[in-house]
Chains A and B, each alone.
Chain A
Amino acid sequence: GQQLNQSPQSMFIQEGEDVSMNCTSSSIFNTWLWYKQEPGEGPVLLIALYKAGELTSNGRLTAQFGITRKDSFLNISASIPSDVGIYFCAGLRNYGGSQGNLIFGKGTKLSVKP
């Protein structure tokens, strides 16, 4: 089945540093999404990307939908302690009209040292 390869698996950074993580796939997706999950919670949507080449920002977060539609990256600038969590990329697999389900990467666990 379709798989998303997300890297890195984990990151340990100093507060204030920038972070970059990415996701690649052997299949094309028409929508890429980035979610963040904190302990005891479900994933929360951060950024949604709908067009190849699209670059979208949400505060200190920036994500891009790759031109080939097979990859996406997420950057976090000037990290702060509350950025800690697991970040997931997800590609939307359509199966008729607007219906579809998400295929998730395995996540990037971010730790921020104050």
Chain B
Amino acid sequence: DSGVTQTPKHLITATGQRVTLRCSPRSGDLSVYWYQQSLDQGLQFLIHYYNGEERAKGNILERFSAQQFPDLHSELNLSSLELGDSALYFCASSVVSANSGANVLTFGAGSRLTVL
């Protein structure tokens, strides 16, 4: 158990629908990252939140949005779903390493989204 909790584990929905994926970071971690993993694209960075504020955006579609709440859990909202949105969505949280000041990301087990 990595300490990063993601729900739901599996989700099947139809095109055009909207879903919300939830992530609870490890205790004490202030940063939450969202990644999308599809077969042909590997792990793609979507968005990073730190202590409730957006810090960076990656390849996140306008149909997708995220937020981090005061208790530090985060939600990723995916709307107007398309077949191509089917993927594994990972959340990761991080603590700054004492070694170098670099972030070390710890990943959850992922949410598998299937859009039919």
B-binding residues in A (CB < 8 A): 30-31, 33, 35, 40-45, 48, 50-51, 88, 92, 94-107
Bound Cα distance A39, B94 (Å): 22
Tell me which of B14-22, B48-56, B63-71, B79-87 binds A. Answer: B48-56
Give complex CA distance A103, B105 in Å: 12
B88-113 interface with A by 8 A CB criterion: 90, 92, 96-97, 99-110
Query: How distant is B17 from chain A, measured CB to nearest CB, in Å?
Result: 24
Most buried by B among A30, A31, A41, A100: A100
Shortest Cβ gap from A7 to chain B (Å): 13
Residues of B within 8 A of A (CB): 2, 4, 31, 33, 35, 42-45, 48, 50, 55-56, 58, 90, 92, 96-97, 99-110
B contact face: mostly helix, strand, loop, or mixed: strand
Provide a sorted-by-A list of 11 A–B residue pairs whose CB atoms are within 8 angstroms: A33-B105, A45-B104, A48-B97, A50-B102, A88-B43, A92-B102, A95-B56, A99-B31, A99-B103, A101-B48, A106-B42
Q: In the complex, which of the residues B42, B44, B48, B58 has the most CB atoms of chain A within 10 Å of its own CB atom? A: B42
User: Given A88-B43, A103-B45, A107-B42, do A42 and B103 touch, yes or no (CB 8 Å)?
Assistant: no
**Is the Cβ of B101 less than 8 Å from the Cβ of A101?**
no
A51 to B103, CA, bound (A): 14
Residues of A close to B92: CB separation below 8 A:
42
Alpha-carbon distance A50/B102, docked complex (angstroms): 8
Known A-B contacts A41-B109, A42-B4, A45-B106; A50 and B99 likewise in contact (beta carbons under 8 Å) = yes
Which of A45, A51, A99, A102 lies in contact with B45, CB distance below 8 A?
Answer: A102
Q: Which residues of A contact B108 (CB under 8 A)?
A: 42
In the complex, the answer to whether B56 meets A98 with C-beta atoms within 8 Å is no
Q: Are A42 and B102 in contact (CB under 8 A)?
A: no
Residues from chain B with a CB closer than 8 A to the CB of A102 are: 33, 43, 45, 103, 105
**List of A residues within 8 angstroms of B31 by Cβ:** 99
Q: Is the CB of B96 within 8 A of A98?
A: yes
Contacts of B90 in A (CB 8 A): 42-43
